[in-house]
Amino acid sequence: MMRILALIPGGTGDQLLFFPTLDTLKQQYPNAEIDVVVEPRAMAAYRVCQSVNRVLKFDFSDRNSLADFGNLLGTIRDREYDAAIVSQPIFSINILLWLSGIPKRISFAGQGDFLLTDIINADAQEYAVTKNFNLLISIGIENPCPPIKVNLPKSDLDWATSEQKRLGIQQSGFILLNCGAYASYPAESWAEIAIGIQSKLPNLPIVAIDSVNNADLLKQLNTKVPNLLITSPTDIGKLTAIIAAANLFVCAEGDAMQLGVAVGTALVAILGSNTPAGVFLPIQEKRIKYVQASAGQSLKAIDPKIVLEKIWEG
């Protein structure tokens, strides 16, 4: 039986950008065991991925001790993987994989790539999903790159249906806002967007997502936006399901943006100047729209009127 290990630093969004690579591996090698090594903050992403057998925890961004690396090395050696794929060139990880004896070690050109068996040159401006997918060239897979897809448990889909009933929007449809943390895009701007939508579509409910660190923002929104509804999904599956149910998803940059891409909902993303749209979004798709801050500016500098213009674009 073939065993493949993927090491994917970063958060939930980084995992989603790697899902097409994992899914294609599983399709090409249906009997293979595919394991991933991810940071603790990203483990929940695999609730909506069926292509992975085991999710191993390792904090790539932490100051790991020799014991931490030793424990990971021991786990990798015990599994006797045939191939390892690393989504970012990290010197310490390349050393670890070299020590593990895995016969095929694949990553991008960069730090410690002399420790790899296969090196892929990356285009920094390429869509991240396609860039990651190019790693599969080293194991003979040259299929067209598929889009991000997720697999939702029935319990999450049932929750989204029940939630729409609770909110009284099961017949009307709705627009979903993911405002993010208070510091990213201010409540005043979100309020202007929501009121602007209500002025044109008074019968279409607006729902805001209650997420970590945005309690203050939602409190302000509630005082400014008439009839604003709040939903509180408790895990990534439920969050994905409610995004999939929406008519339109308006979001600040972040992990939820990739969920919007994955489920096929019409999307308007609000991006900072340091988040290149073409790297993080499939901007060739008509359903994907974005507004971006000018060079050197943060999300806060984006005029909500511009976001509204993007929403009403044909």
CA distance 145 to 284: 14
Q: Where are the domains of the chain?
A: 3-139, 154-312
pLDDT at 183: 54
Residue 270, CB half-sphere, CA atoms under 13 Å: how many?
28
The sign of the CA dihedral 275, 276, 282, 286 is: positive
Q: Which of 251, 116, 123, 259 lies closest to 190, judged by CA?
A: 251
Neighbours of 15 (CB within 10 A): 29
The pLDDT value recorded for residue 39 is 96
185 DSSP assignment:
S
Rounded Cα distance between 19 and 304, Å, is 32
> In this structure, what token pair is assigned to residue 190?
């979100």
Spatial distance between the Cα atoms of 156 and 154, rounded to a whole number of angstroms: 5
Beta carbons of 2 and 32 less than 8 angstroms apart: yes
Give me the tens of pLDDT residue by residue for the chain, a chain 314 residues long: 799 999 999 999 999 999 999 999 999 999 999 999 999 999 999 999 999 999 999 999 888 888 999 999 999 999 999 999 999 999 999 999 999 999 999 999 998 999 999 999 999 999 999 999 999 999 999 889 999 999 999 999 999 999 999 999 999 999 999 987 545 889 999 999 999 999 999 999 999 999 877 888 888 999 999 899 999 999 999 999 999 999 999 999 989 999 999 999 999 999 999 889 999 999 999 999 999 999 888 888 999 999 999 999 86
Equal fold, 3-139 vs 154-312: yes
How far is C-alpha 140 from the geometric centre of its chain's CA atoms?
26
In one-letter notation, the amino acid at residue 214 is N
Question: What is the rounded CA–CA span in Å between residue 55 and residue 264?
Answer: 26
Listed in sequence order, the residues at least 6 apart from 291 whose beta carbon sits closer than 8 Å to its beta carbon are 268, 269, 270, 271, 302, 306, 307, 310
Place domain 154-312 in its CATH homologous superfamily. Glycogen Phosphorylase B; (3.40.50.2000)
CB contact at 8 A, 139 and 83: yes
Can you tell me the distance from the alpha carbon of 233 to that of 166, in angstroms, rounded to the nearest whole number?
13
The continuous run of DSSP H or E covering 96 comes out as helix 91-100
Q: In the prediction, which pLDDT does 242 show?
A: 98
Top-level class of domain 3-139: alpha beta
CB 253 within 8 A of CB 270: yes
Residue 182 pLDDT: 47
pLDDT at 181: 59
Query: How much is the pLDDT for 184?
Result: 80
Cβ neighbors of 114 (< 8 A, separation 6 or more) are none
Residue 298: predicted pLDDT: 83
C-alpha 58/C-alpha 39 separation (Å) is 5
